[in-house]
Amino acid sequence: MTSVRTLVPTGQLASVASRRVLQSLMRTGQEARFVGGCVRDCLLEIQAADIDIATPLPPEEVMRRLKADGIRVIPTGLKHGTVTAVIGNETFEITTLRQDVETFGRSARVAFTDDWLADAARRDFTFNALSLTVDGELYDPFGGVADLTAGRVRFIGDAEARIREDVLRLLRFFRFYARLGKGPPDKAALSACARLAPLVTTLSGERVRDEVLKLLATDRAAEVWRLMVDQGIMEHVLPQAMAVDRLAALDRLEWMVGETEPLARLAALLPGGPLAHAAAAAVADRLRFSNFQRDRLAAIAAPVVDVHPNLPLKSRRIALHRLGPEIYRAVLLLAAAAMGTPAFELFEPLAEASAWRETPFPLRGQDVLDKGVPAGPEVGRLMGEVERWWIAHDFQPDRDACLAELGRRLAC
Ligand code: ATP
Ligand code: MG
């Protein structure tokens, strides 16, 4: 493989830590290169999410050398040839070159190799098969630079065969198309994706989650999600998340009033009304969400209090108190997206949400106990009653007034 041009490594690729790792691996003459996404992102002049390095050295040798040079190393995936080097707050995934070993016509086994081209050929898209040496030689065996410039997301080899090897590539196709694509998607790739979509159900929730959230974080999420719905693909990925019109409307509002988060975009895709809660739970199950993600999705998709742009002031303050400003903001945007509210009508309520400072409820459980109520569920019930009264009075009553109200309730 000969290098096609030079590219000056920038960002983390040019850090002191990077050089230390590469020097350690190259000490006895073997080459080590940056590979995959971090080279693509360097070309695009954006910061890479993570740094991958490839080397012909076997993983045990990689570990031995890094340790000998005083670099912390974690055997993150020794079986697959991957170790992680850690220097300060920088990490590097170092993987031994691999190639597929054909068995009975199917690429079933992987072996370590010193063949850079074979390693590049196992990667998914032409622009993900780039590699870069520390002194700036760029290797591009499948025309990835030209594809990147033209916005073409192109599989290396036959799309259908590559997706059958690893179905995650189907989702990666749409994620990269959303992020980097220009013009219509590659025809062969799109029809292979449509044909093989039912296989997505065999993927683990964690892998689908990462791709879905990355897709939703792109500027073209709504457009690409619509493409996946129209191609009959989304029904195999997240059949609950088909409300693309609402996502598109949310996008237009975001453009005017500022970004929301991928979870709010996901919530926009779910059915509204009484079906929202079950849909949010099903999506959280499928994507193996953390409890935090699960609760947040449900809080936005099926809010415990109704929010819309024309609420009177008192109801807005109650909603802000119950939802907190972040969820309130997301729920408000979603409601506005569903109702077709123009963005300018949202400026004031959104500013109000940003300025919102929670008034803490002035009573504690101890105050109820001090009034002689025995510890138990009655304490919580009374607290809840007085809090509702306090909210109904627009958060105005102070501690003395709340204590007096508690006394009145105890007297009845
Ligand atoms: P991101 O910016 O999200 O990190 P990435 O392309 O770097 O995107 P990684 O998951 O970090 O994705 O993978 C690093 C590289 O490994 C890719 O650029 C690609 O070369 C290769 N790769 C990752 N996943 C696959 C896959 N499922 N099939 C083939 N190659 C893959
Ligand atoms: Mg990466």
pLDDT tens-digit series, residues 303-319 = 999 999 889 988 999 99
Q: Is the CB of 37 under 6 A from ligand 1?
A: yes
User: How many Cβ atoms are within 10 Å of 407's Cβ, its own excluded?
Assistant: 10
Beta bridge partners of 106: 103
> Measured in angstroms, how far is the CA atom of residue 87 from the centroid of ligand 1?
22
pLDDT exceeds cutoff 70 at 187: yes
Own/partner contacts of 238-244, CB < 8 Å, gap of 24 or more, are 238/212, 238/269, 238/283, 238/286, 238/287, 240/269, 240/270, 240/271, 240/279, 240/282, 240/283, 241/266, 241/269, 241/270, 241/279, 241/283, 242/269, 243/268, 243/269, 243/270, 243/271, 243/272, 244/269
CA distance 341 to 335: 8
90 phi and psi, to 5 degrees? -100, 140
Q: Is the CB of 50 under 6 A from ligand 1?
A: yes
Q: Is the CB of 398 under 6 A from ligand 1?
A: no
Which ligand sits closest to the CA of 210?
1
Beta carbons of 147 and 13 less than 8 angstroms apart: no
Domains of the chain: 5-150 (3.30.460.10), 153-237 (1.10.3090.10), 239-347 (no CATH), 365-411 (no CATH)
* Among 51, 94, 100, 124, residue to substitute to test ligand 1 (most atoms within 8 Å of Cβ): 124
- The residues, any chain, with a CB within 8 Å of residue 177's CB and separated by 6 or more, are 153, 185, 224
The pTM for the full model equals 0.90
* Among 93, 100, 123, 180, residue to substitute to test ligand 1 (most atoms within 8 Å of Cβ): 123
| pLDDT tens digits, one per residue of 107-145 | 557 799 999 999 999 999 999 999 999 989 999 999 999
CA distance 403 to 135: 73
Eight-state DSSP code of residue 361: P
Would the CA dihedral through 315, 316, 321, 326 be positive or negative? positive
Q: Is the CB of 124 under 6 A from ligand 1?
A: yes
At residue 381 the predicted structure's pLDDT band, cuts being 50, 70 and 90, is very high
pLDDT exceeds cutoff 80 at 186: yes
User: How many Cβ atoms are within 10 Å of 34's Cβ, its own excluded?
Assistant: 26
pLDDT at 108: 55
* Among 52, 170, 218, residue to substitute to test ligand 1 (most atoms within 8 Å of Cβ): 52
- End-to-end Cα, the chain, rounded Å: 87
Are β-strands 98-103 and 72-77 bridged in parallel, bridged antiparallel, or unpaired?
Answer: unpaired
Closest atom, ligand 1, to C-alpha of 52: 14
Q: Is the CB of 119 under 6 A from ligand 1?
A: no
> Measured in angstroms, how far is the CA atom of residue 5 from the centroid of ligand 1?
22
Residue located via tokens 């972040």: 326
pLDDT exceeds cutoff 80 at 103: no
Closest atom, ligand 1, to C-alpha of 37: 7
Closest atom, ligand 1, to C-alpha of 165: 28
CA distance 398 to 383: 15
Q: Helix H segments across 258-312?
A: 262-269, 276-286, 291-301
Q: Is the CB of 168 under 6 A from ligand 1?
A: yes
| pLDDT tens digits, one per residue of 192-201 | 999 999 999 9
Least confident of 115-129, 202-216, 261-275, 346-360: 346-360
CA distance 185 to 197: 16
CA distance 182 to 294: 34
Query: Encoding tokens for residue 100?
Result: 């597929």
pLDDT exceeds cutoff 90 at 359: no
Query: Encoding tokens for residue 156?
Result: 């290396």
Beta carbons of 145 and 130 less than 8 angstroms apart: yes
Q: Is the CB of 52 under 6 A from ligand 1?
A: yes
| pLDDT tens digits, one per residue of 263-283 | 999 999 999 889 999 999 999
Residue located via tokens 């065969």: 161
Ligand 1: residue whose CA is nearest its atom 16:
36
74 phi and psi, to 5 degrees? -115, 125
| C-alpha count within 13 angstroms, C-beta hemisphere, residue 240 | 20
Beta bridge partners of 5: 138
CA distance 54 to 113: 11
Ligand 1: residue whose CA is nearest its atom 6:
37
| pLDDT tens digits, one per residue of 41-78 | 999 999 998 999 999 999 999 999 999 999 999 999 98
pLDDT at 259: 77
